[in-house]
Every structure is written in structure tokens, then in C-alpha cells.
Structure 1
Amino acid sequence: MAAGAPRIFVSHLSGVAVFDPAGDQVGRVRDLVVMLRVGQRPPRLLGLVVELATRRRIFLPMTRVTAIQSGQVITTGVLNVRRFEQRPTERLVFGELLDRRVVLTETGEEVTVLDLSVHQLPARREWEIDRVFVRKGRKGSAFRRAKGEALTVEWTAVTGFSLEEQGQGAENLLATFEQLRPADLANVLHHLSPKRRAEVAAALDDDRLADVLEELPEDDQIEILGKLQEERAADVLEAMDPDDAADLLGELPTDEQERLLSLMQPGDAADMRRLMSYEDRTAGGLMTTEPIVLRPDATVADALARVRNPDLSPALAAQVYVCRPPDETPTGKYLGTVHFQRLLREPPPSLVSSILDSDLQPLDPDADLPAIAGFFATYDMVAAPVVDDSGSLLGAVTVDDVLDHMLPEDWRETEFHLAEEEVATDGS
């Protein structure tokens, strides 16, 4: 990169694509690694934490960055695919420096760090942080953004980065990652320190935290839930998919389960208890109690309106289940399934009862995992109804729940290892 390159604010680097010299994308920037130095010397930017397509995080030294321009990072093409491990002398910019409360040296006033800028030193391949974008005034919260003058100052004009805070905020870190999918944000949280992970979880709204919890390893789920106030923990569990919430509750001590269930809405608590009554790795234990259920007199237009719900997973939106009243699980008599593709081919005024797939046998709640997997493979399904002996629809099992339970228990923690040999042997 040419000497005298303009400074770059780190918030503009979050999620930026990283390319090799041939123009092939190798990953995305997830954080920056700096080393704090003695006295007032600006921190040196050591490199970037890059997430590969396999979601494996590696370290890309700045000496292998040839350009940062037009919303992309260009590398020399030589990557060390060893998993990134933070050293004691290193700090993560997004994970540890943003939202920190520091002090303006001249006035002694506390300010909040909103952003940092980096630049390349003239005639060298070394980078450092040179300026800090801060906001004066009281610290904000997850629900109320602090007001006050914002200004950019030299790194030497503030102190406090070397001290570990007890109550570091999270709003700017969350703003940096607000466009991430829940699985990717879960990956970010998994790599934060327990202290920082708790701060970020506390700042997320209930629905967002629920989505992220569903994507985290079990140990992280329990840790985060345990650090929430019980009333909020119950609210988050209610916002989760019922089957995932029941799985998480099942990992807690019995007395803690009962306390949380007593704080939930009666209907949600009843769903949790019903799901927890089934054996693990059975259709009853894997199902969600919130599939799309319609009465026989509903129209295709009604069904399509329900399918359009953006909160539904693609698997649950793939089909609707037609039942006699009541239409909350457990329902009245299950009549059959209507697949999404069939809905698209029929006139909107048509009744769903006229286009049922009634030949497909539903799953028994006691069906075990091999039987469920065989059902999905045989009929090329992404979701399947679960019906009891009385003919009532209890819920639906989706293919993602089947995969979750067929993979090793610690697959979320070890997923970076899955492609290690393949990546190492292809010469990348």
C-alpha cells in the first residue's frame, strides 16, 4: 500500500470481504488485533481476525495485507490456516476496545469510545491506531443511547485502555455486528471473554438473544442464561423455538427449571413441560409445538399469508398442517399436509382441505432418531407432522433438528476442525 494512505475507521472494516490476488474471496474480517504499548505510544495493529467460509477463524498479519480499499481487503494470498488464539499481550478492537470508558487527559472527563482509526506508517508496512472517536456524557444502555458531544481526539489524548473495566458497554459492538445472521453472531459471542459475552448478551433484545442462544454450544447457553435475571431468562426462553428452549431447560437443575417455568406464560410453560416429558432423540422430544396449523375451511390465500411470516424458519414454512378445531397443538383431528409448492399452483380462493396430501403417514411421538431420519430421507421432506394415537397433531419435526441431534454433541464447538485436514492439504 502506498505511503500516506488515508486513515480508516475500524467500524468500516467489520464484515469486509478478504480476497486473494486472483480475486477469490477467502473470508471476512471479524476483528482487529492490536498490541498496547508502554506509555502513550499508539497501539500497533498486528493483523486481522478473518473468518473463512468454513467459519474457522484465522489470523491474517498486516504484513500480508497489500491493500484496503473500496470495502475490501486484498492479501498476498499466503494464509496460515491455524486457528486464531489470542495472546495475553493482544487486544481485540471490536471485542475489547469499543464501548470502553476512557478519560480525556486534558480535562479528566470520562468519555465512551465509539470508534478508532488506523493508518499505515509512512514508508513502512506497520500500522497503528492513531485516533479515537469518543462521545462525552453519561454512559448509554441497551435501551437508551447516551447523548453528548462526539469528537475525534489523538490516541495520546485519552487514558484508560490498559485497564479492564467492570461494566463495559456493548451498544457499539452490537451496532458493528447488527447485520450478522444469528449463527454468525453466536460465533462472535463464543470467541469473546465470559465477561464481555455476558455484557453483550445483556444488551441484546430478547428475540435476538433467543435466536443467538439457539446457535450456541450448550455450555455457552447455560452460562449466559445463568447470568440473566430470572424474569428475563424466562422471557428469553419464551422467545426461543419451543424445542430448543425445552432442550436448554432440560440441562438445568430441577429446582431452576421449576423457577423459570413458574415465571413463563402458562401456555408457553405447558408447551415446555409437554416437550420435556418425551424421551430425548424421539419425535416428541425433537418437535416444535408451533407449526402452521389451519382449519379445513381456510383458503390457499390464508395459507400463503401464514407462510409469509418472516419469523418462520424455511423448514416450518415449507408446509401447513390442516386439522379440525382446536387449531393450537395438541389440535383436533389431523387431516393432512399441504406443501408450499402446491399452494403456489392453486387459485387463492381454493380451500386447503381440497388439496391435502393425506397419504403421507405422520410420525409417532415415540419414533426414534433413526426412524425419523429414514422418514426424511425416504420422502425428501424438510418437516414432518407428529401425531398421537388419538389423531391429534402434537407438533412438527424439522430437518435442522434432526441434523442437530445426529451430529456429535459438541459439533458447534468443534465445527472449525471439520475442514482442517481438507484446508491444510489443498495448499492454501
Structure 2
Amino acid sequence: MSTPTRVYIARLSGVAVFDPNGDQVGRVRDAVARLRTTQRPPEVVGLVAEMPMRRRIFLSLNRITSLDADAVVLGTGTLNLRRFEKRPNELLVLQELLDRRVQLDPGGQSGAVVDVAMECSRGGEWSLTRVAVREQTSRLTRRGHLHQVEWDKVRGLSGIATTRGTANLLAVLEDMRPADLANALQDLPDTRRNEVAAALDDERLADVLSELPEHDQVEILAALDRERAADVLEEMDPDDAADLLNELPPPEQDVLLDLMEPDEADPVRQLLKYTPGTAGSVMTSEPVILPPDATVAEALARVREPQLSPAVAAQVFVTRAPMTTPTGRYLGMVHFQRLLREPPADLLGGIVVNDIDPLRPTTPLPEITRRMATYDLVAMPVIDRNNRLVGAVTVDDVLDHLLPRDWRDRDAVTGALTTEEELDEAHG
């Protein structure tokens, strides 16, 4: 194995994993260590890598030919794609040790684990040998001293952690996309998951909640105080916030809606009125809307706004004033590809397309799917009986409601390994 003899594991998180041909197959998310019955430090037996479709698999260290903070390269052979499941005598290093409160010997200083090093012996065995611990300090303006000490000089690494922070685990997770971070949270014990979720800022937590199964969304929201929960709901897209609130009892819905700012709560209240399985229940009430006298240049500037999802940014809806839903009379829409082909000074009213009948709030999901597929659309307008635009259904909204209700739950999608034989296969 071409690799340093000592590797700090937090630095491996997110590192790309390549096959022998140089193709990326996933990213490192953690290391697996096997606890020993003796006083020797745990033996590191492999890495956990995240593959496409959020599947996490086990990579035995024996399969790895190169390992450092830049890349992990696998040797030849068949890659076992069975989902990783931790055995009772194993330890997920980053998940279970980062931020753990420990004490150092001698001296008894207390601190939090910020990283753990694994080291290779002359016989080729990897073990957890050193721990980086940030000393606790009462001074808010100064960070505590960083100690790097031998594994056996740290007390509190085994057993259940009673008090833990989140800063170092969040540092490891901060570069993940919301969907990948949601996947990582599902691997954590419920208490730890709720701690990490609560430590995210409102916008980040809102994005992550939208990627979690409904039962996890509800549990995380319930663990927050109500004022913080309302703040997070305000950061969510109205349709996502409505979906989440639909999982709560009506009295709790009312409490959270009352705590939200009125201009944030009103579109959510409106979405909650629609019958499930209809256009009204799955649409977003905040598509890109411009008047007919807006220019192509103005429309392109709007669809470039970074907070817009690709599906929402794919088209501009043209209406009379007012420009917020429910708008004035709906006139039509312009796809962004058409905008790219027109002179920047041209007006939207001259290129608007209105030859496709809009949806109604009561249009059922199967009909929406059929029409979007027929016309190869990524979004369709939804208008009321007065021809006012009330929202738009995007392809991601449709997929989210066509897939099984538990599709975001990795256990339901991939199936958990339950037998000892399957566990052996998953560990190579």
C-alpha cells in the first residue's frame, strides 16, 4: 500500500475513492475500527464509502492500494456493493468519537476529540494510535490548546458518551450537499442526529430536512423549541414546509404557523388547503414570475439566481400584475432555452407561449404526469378559475410524490443486512 504510515481520519472524510482504472466510485465517509478484548487500541479494518444512490459500503483496507488525504485507490477485484452494517464490536471512528468529551492522563485536563490517527505497524496492521484533543477553556475569545496524545493516555473513549459537542463533526460534514448530509444524519443515533441537526443554521437545516424521510423530519422538528422550528419552516420552500406540517397534528400545525412571519406562513396555509394528490398539494407557490413588458435580459437575470432549483429556473411565467401568487391574469410561459436565443432587449410579451392548457389546483397527479410527459415539460403552470397563476408543478415535485412514501429512507430502499452471513459478505 502506497500511503503514509500515519493518517488522521477526519482528513479522509470526503476524499474521492477511485477504482484501478482511475474512475471515481464514491467518497470516504468514515473508518471502521474493531474493538479488542485486550488493552490494545482498536484495529482499523476498513473504510466506509458512500456510493451513488446514497449507498454506503465497506472497503477493506486489504483492498486499498493507496490511501492519503488526496485520494483512495482500490486494487483489482470485484467491489462488494452490499450496504454496510456496523457489527456490535465495531466502532465508526468519526461518527462516534468526534466531539466526545474526554480526559487526558496525566494531569486530567478535559477536552473534546477533534481527530483520531490510525497507524500502520511493520506487520501491516492498522490501529488507532493517537488522538487529537482540544482542551476546554472558559475563555470565549481563545481556543484551548490542542494535544496530540497516545490512545491509552485518553480516558473516556469507550462506552456511551454522556456529553458531546458538534463543532468537529459539523466541520467534517460542512461540504456535503444537503442530500448527502441527510444521508449521513440517518446513520447517527437519534439523540446524536438531533444534536447535529440543531447545530446547523436555519437555512442549512431547512435544506437538509427537505431531503429526509418524513418520520425523521418530524422527529428533528419536534426536538427543536417551537420558535426555532418556526424559523426553520420559514427557510423551507412553501411546498416542502406544507408537506412537513401535513405530518403533524392540526393543533401543532396551527401553533407553528402562528409563530411564523405572516408573509411566510400565508402561502403555506394556502397549500395546506388543497386535497392531497392534486396539483394544488404538490405545486410550488413561488415560481419565477415576470410581467409581459420585462425584457429577456431581466428574465435571464432572474433565472440565474442561485437559490432557485434547476426545475424552477427552467422557465419564466408571464402574468399581469400583481407578480406574486395569486397573480393577475396568466398570459403564458417562456422556457430559458428560448430566452438564450432571443435578443436581450426583446420583451417577454412578444415571445410568450400559451398553446398548452395550464393545470387546475384540482388536477390529479396521474393527469399531471401524463401531460408533462406528453409535452416534455419540466414544469407546468397552475391557474385558478379566474385565470390567475397560483403556482407551478415541477418535475421534482411529481417524482417526489410518485415514488414510494419512504423512498428517502435508505433502509427501505436498499434493505438492511440482517444475517451473520450477509454481514460477513458486506465486510469483504
Question: 2 CA distance for matches of 1:19 and 1:409?
Answer: 34
1:27 pairs with 2:26: yes
**C-alpha contact (below 8 Å) 1:64/1:78 kept by paired residues:** no
Give the equivalent residue in structure 2 for 1:424: none
Question: 2 CA distance for matches of 1:90 and 1:139?
Answer: 34
1:196 pairs with 2:180: no
Give the equivalent residue in structure 2 for 1:253: 249
Correspondence list, 1:50-199, <5 A: 50-69=49-68, 71-76=70-75, 77-124=77-124, 126-138=125-137, 147-199=143-195
Give the equivalent residue in structure 1 for 2:5: 6
Local SS of the residue matching 1:412:
coil
Which string of whole-angstrom CA distances, capped at 9 and with x for unpartnered residues, describes residues 189-222 of structure 1? 1111101101110111111111111111111111
**C-alpha contact (below 8 Å) 1:54/1:416 kept by paired residues:** no
Identity %: 57
Question: 1 CA distance for matches of 2:391 and 2:95?
Answer: 40
Local SS of the residue matching 2:17:
strand
1:313 deviates by: 0.2
Which of 221, 231, 251 pairs up with 1:235?
231
Deviates more, 1:61-70 or 1:338-347: 61-70
1:146 deviates by: 6.8
1:46 deviates by: 2.0
Which of 405, 413, 416 pairs up with 1:415?
413
Give the equivalent residue in structure 2 for 1:423: none
Question: 2 CA distance for matches of 1:335 and 1:85?
Answer: 54
Which of 360, 365, 368 pairs up with 1:364?
360
**C-alpha contact (below 8 Å) 1:112/1:139 kept by paired residues:** no
Give the equivalent residue in structure 1 for 2:206: 210
Sort the Cα spacing of 1:22 and 1:295 in 2 relative to 1 into closer, same or farther, 3 A: closer
1:268 pairs with 2:264: yes
Sort the Cα spacing of 1:332 and 1:145 in 2 relative to 1 into closer, same or farther, 3 A: farther
Give the equivalent residue in structure 1 for 2:332: 336
Which of 217, 221, 224 pairs up with 1:221?
217
1:391 deviates by: 0.8
Local SS of the residue matching 1:411:
coil
1:292 pairs with 2:288: yes
Question: 1 CA distance for matches of 2:247 and 2:4?
Answer: 53
Which consecutive aligned stretches of 4+ in structure 1 deviate over 6 angstroms post-superposition? none
**C-alpha contact (below 8 Å) 1:293/1:320 kept by paired residues:** yes
1:38 deviates by: 5.2
List gaps (5 residues or longer) in structure 2: 417-427
Question: 1 CA distance for matches of 2:415 and 2:388?
Answer: 43
Local SS of the residue matching 1:358:
coil
1:40 deviates by: 5.1
Question: 2 CA distance for matches of 1:81 and 1:317?
Answer: 36
Which string of whole-angstrom CA distances, capped at 9 and with x for unpartnered residues, describes residues 376-427 of structure 1? 1011111111100101110111101101111111112233359xxxxxxxxx
1:318 pairs with 2:318: no
Deviates more, 1:159-168 or 1:303-312: 159-168
**C-alpha contact (below 8 Å) 2:7/2:68 kept by paired residues:** no
State TM-score, norm by structure 2: 0.92
Deviates more, 1:373-382 or 1:24-33: 24-33
Give the equivalent residue in structure 2 for 1:354: 350
Question: 2 CA distance for matches of 1:65 and 1:106?
Answer: 37
Give the equivalent residue in structure 2 for 1:42: 41
Which string of whole-angstrom CA distances, capped at 9 and with x for unpartnered residues, describes residues 273-292 of structure 1? 11011111110000011111
**C-alpha contact (below 8 Å) 1:295/1:324 kept by paired residues:** yes
Question: 2 CA distance for matches of 1:138 and 1:85?
Answer: 37
**C-alpha contact (below 8 Å) 1:95/1:196 kept by paired residues:** no
Question: 2 CA distance for matches of 1:322 and 1:393?
Answer: 9
Which string of whole-angstrom CA distances, capped at 9 and with x for unpartnered residues, describes residues 317-352 of structure 1? 001111111111111111111111111122222221
Question: 1 CA distance for matches of 2:347 and 2:141?
Answer: 50
Correspondence list, 1:384-403, <5 A: 384-403=380-399
Bigger relative contact order, structure 1 or 2 (CA pairs below 8 A, ≥6 apart): 2
**C-alpha contact (below 8 Å) 2:6/2:117 kept by paired residues:** yes
Question: 1 CA distance for matches of 2:101 and 2:35?
Answer: 16
Local SS of the residue matching 1:401:
helix
State how many pairs are aligned.
Answer: 414
What value does the CA root-mean-square deviation take over the aligned residues? Answer: 2.1
Question: 2 CA distance for matches of 1:247 and 1:289?
Answer: 13
1:254 deviates by: 1.1
1:65 deviates by: 2.3
Which string of whole-angstrom CA distances, capped at 9 and with x for unpartnered residues, describes residues 228-255 of structure 1? 1111111111111111110110110111
List gaps (5 residues or longer) in structure 1: 419-427
1:270 deviates by: 1.4
Sort the Cα spacing of 1:404 and 1:277 in 2 relative to 1 into closer, same or farther, 3 A: same
Question: 2 CA distance for matches of 1:367 and 1:275?
Answer: 14
Local SS of the residue matching 2:116:
strand
Deviates more, 1:184-193 or 1:165-174: 165-174
Deviates more, 1:325-334 or 1:160-169: 160-169
1:263 deviates by: 0.4
Which string of whole-angstrom CA distances, capped at 9 and with x for unpartnered residues, describes residues 135-188 of structure 1? 112489xxx897222232222221111132233112211211222111111110
**C-alpha contact (below 8 Å) 2:11/2:69 kept by paired residues:** no
Name the aligned partner's letter for residue 379 of structure 1: Y
1:311 deviates by: 0.7
Name the aligned partner's letter for residue 41 of structure 2: P
Local SS of the residue matching 2:271:
helix
